[in-house]
Amino acid sequence: MKIYFTEFMDISRSVEVLLVEYLTIFPVVGIIGPRQVGKTTLAKNLAKKQPVHYLDLESSADRQKLSDPVLYLQNHRDKLIIFDEIQQMPQLMSELRGIIDADRQVGKFIILGSASPTLIKKSADSLAGRIGYIELSAFLLNEVGFENERKLWHRGGFPLSYLAASERGSMIWRKNFIKTYIEKDLALLGLTAEPQTIERFWRMLASVHGNLWNSESIGRSMGLTHPTVNKYLDLMEGAFLVRRLQPYFVNISKRLVKSPKIYLRDSGILHAFKDIIREADLLEDPQVGASWEGFVIEQIIEEMKITLIDAQAYFYRTQQGAECDLIIEHSGIVKAAIEIKFSSAPQIGKGFRITMEDTKAKHGFVIAKTNETYKIEDKITVTSLSAFLTDFLPNL
């Protein structure tokens, strides 16, 4: 364990800069993200710079200490208070509101949660105007080093999976992570179906990774109503396990696809459901293109949150066949249309050119498995994922 924590602490997280900034703006900063992604480590790193008091709300002893929050917290008024797993005590939010309003100071509390704000009951209402949320994702490519792209894609970015001593060890960790989520964590967030049903639904999502969401089809396959499977999807999305990428709409006289596309956010979890243990096996899998597409999209969207605040991500598809994998919109302007290809010599189809015209995209990119960056048309550039993240995304 000592080796793991040493390596983990040496990996600088991109959101650290945002966290420091938010602590100068908001009385409460919420760090949200899936379990085992490093939220506690990130928050505790602040203890090196200032006095910190940490409370784990999964611990009955720590919850008991907060039977009278106002009285207890008076003893630690000069410290930054960290509440871990806040979804265990959502009622604490209303108590924090009174404490904050009595002494309005920034950077007083950090709350950590494994659920989105909409699933942490009362938080949005109780702390409106007093809290800023930061989402901590799994490891990103710029955090682990661009030379480790294939390893990150294969194992995913959960720290204990990525840093495992072997490919087998990484897979064992991911399988147990899935089992724990199915048997415990998702139920705590409101997904109260039988574990077998949850596992089957999660596997179903893995099978449609990168495809349009069809709740009626999934419902028929599982013997459930489509409102039920939509509720399951909402909860999985709220637990940061699934990304629902919405279609981009423009005011043109074309019939546009209206269903979102579904991706498992962590490529390593996707590969665990497919029992892909070795990197070499990944390259031979029939779903390798969809896996690569999801990995690239996740990397870009998470980097956007830091480099392009308020930018939005979509995909584009018309029923006539024009499409591209990712649209980046910022301030009402389509900054980039992006096609993702698992190829070292990608070709551009007519549909992508039509997308460029429909959306009036400023730039077009083809992100491919290449080490070169070159133009194939005046507004369309072929490049690698690492080059796009470092050379192009910050300048959109």
Name all domains of the chain by residue range, CATH numbers in brackets: 2-135 (3.40.50.300), 141-395 (no CATH)
Q: Judge whether residue 2 has pLDDT over 60.
A: no
Q: Judge whether residue 5 has pLDDT over 50.
A: no
Residue 90 has what pLDDT? 81
Where b means 16+ CB within 10 Å and e means fewer, 147-159 reads eebeebbbbbbbb
The reported pTM is: 0.91
What is the DSSP secondary-structure string of 251-306?
SSSSPBP-SPEEEES-HHHHHHHTT--SHHHHHTSTTHHHHHHHHHHHHHHHHHHH
Contact 232, 201 (CB under 8 A): yes
Q: Judge whether residue 26 has pLDDT over 60.
A: yes
Query: What's phi and psi for 314, nearest 5 deg?
Result: -145, 175
Task: Please give the average per-residue pLDDT across 151-179, as a whole number.
Answer: 96
Residue 328 has what pLDDT? 97
Residue 127 has what pLDDT? 83
Percent of the chain with pLDDT over 70: 94
Instruction: Compare 345 and 384 and report the one with higher pLDDT.
Output: 384
Instruction: Compare 3 and 154 and report the one with higher pLDDT.
Output: 154
Among the listed ranges 2-6, 365-369, 371-375, which one has the minimum average pLDDT value? Answer: 2-6
207 vs 197: CA distance, rounded Å? 15
Instruction: Compare 208 and 318 and report the one with higher pLDDT.
Output: 208
